[in-house]
C-alpha cells in the first residue's frame, strides 16, 4: 500500500481511512453505485444478533438541528440469514467487510462471534456494546469496567478475528471502559455511538419516536465525540476508530489529529452518498499541503499549547 | 438498483393553493423513473441532515415534477425555490407498481402527487382511469387543472362543499355499500361482499383506515405509504411500517413500497400510531 491515505487500523488494512458505519450501509450492496466504494476502506455491516430482531415501533426517525434521532432498535435478519444470504451478497464489495455483533446477553455475542470466526470475507468483528435503543445488551455493558473486560475476553476466546469494541459516549469517564475493552483483548475501539436523546411533538403532546428515546447522530454530536476520541487516545494510546458526525474531510482530519486511525461515516451519507470520495480527496490534499507522508503520520499530531 | 444522483434545474414553479408544482429538468431521472417511485431531494442551502422524500408527480421527456406542500422548514425552503435554481436529486427510489385493470384511484389532498403519474400513464396508453379525489377545500384539490387538461374522469369531493360533492372521498366510493345497506346486512347477520374493484389510494392515514374498514378485508386495496425516511435505499430501516408477517415485524416503505397491499399491513398497530 503506497497510497497516502491507506492505513492499517484495528488489525485491518484499509485502502482509505473512511469506514461506513454500521446501520447506515445495510448489509453492503444497498447503496448500489451511489457510494463509490473505491473511496471506502471498510464497510461495517448492519448489526447481527443470534436470532432475527424485529426492531422498534415507528416513527423511528426524527431530524433535529444538525442531526438525526433514530430508534431503529437493531432490526436485523439474525445469524442464519446473515450467513446464508447477506454475507455472500457483500462478498463482492471492493473493500474490507466488518460484521457488527449485537445481543441481549454476553453469551449471545460469544455465540455469534464463534459462528462468524470461520468467515473468510470478514476482516474484523465490531462488538456493539453501546446501542441506546435496546434495553438489555446495549449500553449497560460499558458502565461496569470489570464486566466489560470479562465480556470482551469471552468473545476473544472464540475468534481469531480482530475485535473492535464500539463504546458508549454517555459514561462519567470513557477511559476505564476503553482500558477494560483493551485488557479484554480488543484490537481497536470504535469511539463512540449515538447519544441517548429524545424529541417531543408539543402539538400532539407525545414523544416523537415510537420508542420514546432514541440515539442522536450527525454533526450535532461531533464536538462531544471528538473529545472522547482525544481522551481515549491520550490516556491509552489505543487504536481508535472515530464515529460521530463526520460530514467532510475537515471533520475526518480533526478526528485523525485527535488520535483516530480511521473514521466512520453514517448519518451524513443520507444527505451525500458521495461523501467517502469527497473525504478522501480532501484528506489527500490536506496531507500534501501539510507535508506529511501519509494519513498514519497525522494520527494524534495535535500541537499543544498556545499559538 | 440503478439509482441516480442528478443535479436538476428548476424550469417552472407553478402555484397550487398552499403547495407548488416544481418542474425540474432532470433528463436521466425522467427517463428512468416509473409511476409510484419517488425521489429524495436535498434541501438547498444546507443545515438539514436528511433529504426529503417526494413522489414523482409526473415525468415526461427530460423533465420530472414534484408537488411540494410546505409542512416544515425543509419543505418551506424547497417550496420557495426559484426558476433557474439547482436541486440535488436521488432516485428513482422504491418499487413501481402496475395497478390491476380498472382500478379506482383514490386521492386525499396532497396524496394526488402519489397517483398522478400512474393516472397520466394510463391516459397516455389510451385507457380511461377513474379518480376519486377528496380534499378539505377546493384550494387543496392540488393539480386539478392538470387532471382536467389530461381529460381524467375524476369525481371531486370537498369537506366544505366548495367543489364537487360534500364530505370525505371515502363516503363517495362508486358502487360501495351505503351505510343503510351495512346496517341491513348487520341486522341480518350477513357479510357484505368485498368491494369488487381494486383500489389504489394515496392520502392521509385516516383515509386508509376508513377505506380498509369500508371496503372489507378481502378487497384489493393498495395504499401508497409515507413514513419519515433517511436512506431511501433499504439500508437503515428507518421508514418502517407495521407488517402482518412476521407478527410484530415491519416493512420498509423505501424498499418494499411505497405501494403496499393492505393485507400485508397490521392495521391495529397502524391505528395505535396515529
Give the residue carrying C-alpha cell 376519486. B132
Give the integer Cα–Cα distance in Å for A93 and A232: 31
Range of the domain at A113: 7-56+73-194+217-298
Report the SS3 class of residue B38. strand
- The correct answer on CATH 1.10.4080.10 for the domain covering B4-93 is no
Higher-confidence residue of A83 and A106: namely A83
Q: Which of A32-36, A232-236, B81-85, B110-114 has the lowest mean pLDDT?
A: A32-36
B residues 11..70 contacting A (CB < 8 A) = 42, 47-51
Q: Which residue of B2, B49, B227 is in closest CB contact with A63? A: B49
Q: What is the ipTM of this complex?
A: 0.93
Q: Is B210's pLDDT higher than 70?
A: yes
Q: What pLDDT is recorded for position A1?
A: 45
C-beta of residue B235 within 8 angstroms of C-beta of residue A26: yes
Would you call A219 an interface residue with chain B, using a CB distance cutoff of 8 Å?
A: yes
Other residues' Cβ atoms within 10 Å of the Cβ of residue B267: 16
Give the residue carrying C-alpha cell 397517483. B115
Q: Which residue of B3, B50, B230 is in closest CB contact with A34? A: B3
Residue A62 within a domain:
no
- Domain locations along chain B: 4-93, 104-224
Q: Pick the closest to residue B65 from B99, B25, B120 (CA basis).
A: B25
- Note the pLDDT tens digit of each residue in A129-182: 986 666 555 566 777 899 999 999 999 999 999 999 999 999 899 999 999 999
The CATH number of the domain holding residue A109 is 3.20.20.70
Q: Which of A83-97, B112-126, B260-274 has the lowest mean pLDDT?
A: B260-274
- The correct answer on CATH 3.40.50.80 for the domain covering B104-224 is yes
Residue A199 within a domain:
no
CA distance A169 to chain B (A): 21
**What is the mean predicted confidence (pLDDT) over A255-282?**
98
Residue A14 within a domain:
yes
C-beta of residue A270 within 8 angstroms of C-beta of residue B49: yes
Contact B237 A60 (CB under 8 A): yes
How large is the greatest C-alpha to C-alpha distance in chain A, in angstroms? 57
Contact B50 A67 (CB under 8 A): no
| Average pLDDT of chain B, as a whole number | 94
Please list the helix, strand and coil fractions of chain B in percent, rounded to the nearest 5, in that order: 25, 30, 40
Specify the number of domains making up chain A.
1
Give the integer Cα–Cα distance in Å for B130 and B103: 8
- Note the pLDDT tens digit of each residue in B116-129: 999 999 999 999 99
Q: Pick the closest to residue A57 from A205, A214, A198 (CA basis).
A: A214
- Note the pLDDT tens digit of each residue in B2-53: 899 999 999 999 999 999 999 999 999 999 999 999 999 999 998 999 999 9
Contact B90 A58 (CB under 8 A): no
Q: What pLDDT is recorded for position B214?
A: 87
Give the integer Cα–Cα distance in Å for B199 and B219: 8
Q: What pLDDT is recorded for position A144?
A: 87
Q: What pLDDT is recorded for position A140?
A: 67
Which of A113, A131, A142, A155 is catalytic? The answer is A131
Question: Which residue in chain B has the smallest CA separation from A27?
Answer: B235
CB pairs under 8 A between A and B: 114
Q: Is B271's pLDDT higher than 70?
A: yes
Would you call B139 an interface residue with chain A, using a CB distance cutoff of 8 Å?
A: no
Rounded to 10 degrees, the C-alpha dihedral A208/A212/A213/A217 comes to -20
Q: Work out the pLDDT band at A285, boundaries 50, 70, 90.
A: very high
User: Please, what is the Cα angle at B90 between A31 and A220, to 5 degrees?
Assistant: 75
Q: What pLDDT is recorded for position B171?
A: 92
Residue A101 within a domain:
yes
Other residues' Cβ atoms within 10 Å of the Cβ of residue B117: 23
Q: Which residue of B234, B239, B249 is in closest CB contact with A54? A: B249
- Note the pLDDT tens digit of each residue in A218-236: 999 999 999 999 999 999 9
Residues of chain B above pLDDT 70, percent: 96
H/E stretch holding B16 = strand B4-16
Contacts of A196 (CB under 8 A, 6+ apart): A132, A139, A170, A213, A214, A215, A216
Amino acid at each position: 500500500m503506497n497510497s497516502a491515505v491507506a492505513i492499517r487500523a484495528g488489525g485491518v488494512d484499509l485502502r482509505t481511512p473512511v469506514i461506513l458505519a454500521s446501520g447506515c450501509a445495510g448489509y453492503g450492496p444497498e447503496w448500489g453505485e451511489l457510494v463509490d466504494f473505491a473511496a471506502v476502506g471498510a464497510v461495517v455491516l448492519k448489526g447481527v444478533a443470534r436470532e432475527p430482531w424485529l426492531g422498534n415501533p415507528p416513527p423511528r426517525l426524527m431530524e433535529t438541528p444538525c442531526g438525526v434521532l433514530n430508534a431503529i432498535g437493531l432490526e436485523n435478519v439474525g445469524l442464519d440469514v446473515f450467513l446464508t444470504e447477506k454475507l455472500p451478497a457483500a462478498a463482492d464489495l471492493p473493500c474490507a467487510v466488518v460484521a457488527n455483533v449485537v445481543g441481549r446477553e454476553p453469551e449471545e455475542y460469544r455465540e455469534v462471534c464463534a459462528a462468524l470466526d470461520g468467515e473468510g470475507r470478514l476482516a474484523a468483528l465490531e462488538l456493539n456494546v453501546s446501542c441506546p435503543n435496546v434495553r438489555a445488551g446495549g449500553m449497560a455493558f460499558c458502565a461496569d469496567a470489570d464486566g466489560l473486560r470479562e465480556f470482551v475476553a469471552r468473545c476473544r476466546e472464540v475468534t481469531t478475528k480482530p475485535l473492535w469494541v464500539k463504546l458508549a459516549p454517555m459514561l462519567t469517564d470513557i477511559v476505564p471502559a476503553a482500558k477494560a475493552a483493551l485488557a479484554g483483548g480488543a484490537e481497536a475501539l470504535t469511539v463512540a455511538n449515538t447519544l441517548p436523546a429524545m424529541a417531543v411533538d408539543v402539538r400532539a403532546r407525545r414523544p416523537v419516536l415510537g420508542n420514546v428515546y432514541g440515539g442522536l447522530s450527525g454533526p450535532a454530536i461531533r464536538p462531544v465525540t471528538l473529545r472522547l476520541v482525544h481522551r481515549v487516545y491520550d490516556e491509552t494510546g489505543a487504536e481508535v476508530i472515530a464515529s460521530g458526525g463526520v460530514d467532510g474531510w475537515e471533520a475526518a482530519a480533526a478526528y485523525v489529529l485527535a488520535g483516530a486511525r480511521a473514521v466512520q461515516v453514517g448519518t451524513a451519507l443520507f444527505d451525500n452518498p458521495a461523501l467517502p470520495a469527497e473525504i478522501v480527496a480532501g484528506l489527500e490534499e490536506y496531507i500534501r499541503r501539510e507535508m506529511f507522508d501519509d494519513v498514519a503520520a497525522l494520527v494524534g499530531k495535535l500541537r499543544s499549547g498556545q499559538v | 438498483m440503478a439509482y441516480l444522483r442528478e443535479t436538476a434545474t428548476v424550469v417552472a414553479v407553478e402555484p397550487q393553493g398552499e403547495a407548488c408544482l416544481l418542474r425540474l429538468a432532470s433528463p436521466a431521472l425522467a427517463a428512468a423513473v416509473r409511476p409510484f417511485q419517488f425521489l429524495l431531494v436535498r434541501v438547498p442551502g444546507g443545515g438539514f441532515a436528511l433529504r426529503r422524500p417526494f413522489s414523482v408527480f409526473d415525468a415526461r421527456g427530460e423533465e420530472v415534477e414534484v408537488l411540494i406542500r410546505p409542512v416544515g422548514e425543509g419543505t418551506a425552503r424547497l417550496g420557495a425555490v426559484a426558476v433557474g435554481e439547482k436541486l440535488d436529486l436521488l432516485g428513482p427510489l422504491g418499487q413501481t407498481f402496475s395497478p390491476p385493470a380498472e382500478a379506482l384511484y383514490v386521492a386525499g389532498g396532497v396524496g394526488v402527487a402519489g397517483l398522478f403519474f400512474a393516472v397520466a400513464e394510463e391516459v397516455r396508453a389510451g385507457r380511461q382511469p377513474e379518480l376519486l379525489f377528496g380534499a378539505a377545500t377546493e384550494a387543496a384539490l392540488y393539480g386539478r387543472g392538470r387532471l382536467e387538461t389530461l381529460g381524467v374522469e375524476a369525481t371531486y369531493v370537498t369537506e366544505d362543499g366548495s367543489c364537487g360533492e360534500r364530505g370525505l372521498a371515502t363516503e363517495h366510493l362508486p358502487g360501495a355499500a351505503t351505510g343503510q345497506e351495512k346496517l341491513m346486512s348487520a341486522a341480518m347477520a350477513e357479510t357484505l361482499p368485498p368491494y369488487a374493484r381494486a383500489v389504489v389510494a394515496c392520502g392521509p392515514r385516516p383515509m386508509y383506515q376508513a377505506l380498509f374498514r369500508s371496503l372489507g378485508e378481502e378487497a384489493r386495496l393498495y395504499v401508497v405509504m409515507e413514513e419519515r425516511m433517511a436512506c431511501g435505499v433499504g439500508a437503515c430501516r428507518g421508514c418502517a411500517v407495521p407488517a402482518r408477517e412476521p407478527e410484530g415485524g415491519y416493512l420498509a416503505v423505501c424498499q418494499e413500497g411505497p405501494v403496499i397491499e393492505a393485507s400485508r399491513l397490521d392495521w391495529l398497530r397502524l391505528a395505535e400510531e396515529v
